[in-house]
Amino acid sequence: MKRHTVILPFLLPRLTDKAAMQLVALLHELIAGIEHHYAEQIHRHHKRQQEIRQHKKSQPPRLTDPPF
């Protein structure tokens, strides 16, 4: 199997295949729990960002801006 280089501020230990799978499953569960806990705030943030992008798109370009 080809090894991928990952830059982390620490070295990860070697794990068995089963332990690696269990660690990743644990991390997925942890992330899912955090996303569930903060879902309302995450939704508000995404909605605000979308509104900001739409507002910027709807504004005509400023005439004082250089063409480049």
| DSSP letter, residue 66 | -
Give the torsion through C-alpha atoms of 58, 63, 66, 68, to 10 deg: 40
Residue with tokens 């269990």: 22
Dump pLDDT digits (tens) for 1-54. 677 777 778 888 999 999 999 999 999 999 999 999 999 999 999 999 999 999
